[in-house]
Amino acid sequence: MNFPEINRITMDPAVMGGKPCIRGMRVTVGMITGLLASGASFHEILQLYPYLEEADIKAALSYAAWRSEEYDLPLHKS
């Protein structure tokens, strides 16, 4: 599956400790998904963060959905 909107998600160790952010800004995917989970609408989020775009919110949701399907395997030392 191709999610071109995920290109809006960036990870930079110098920004928010490397957490997934929206377009290099100090707005994390977790902040956006947390707001949505607590009942905020796209419109309300865009009012709180006027420098965001609707596509940024959709990108955060796409990224969160993609990551929720991933899993980490522990490394075993030989």
Predicted structure pTM score: 0.82
CATH class label, 4-68: mainly alpha
- DSSP secondary structure of 56-67: HHHHHHHHHHHH
List of the chain residues with pLDDT < 50 = 1
List the beta bridge partners of residue 71.
none
Q: Where are the domains of the chain?
A: 4-68
d(CA 69, CA 71): 7
pLDDT score for 74: 75
pLDDT score for 1: 45
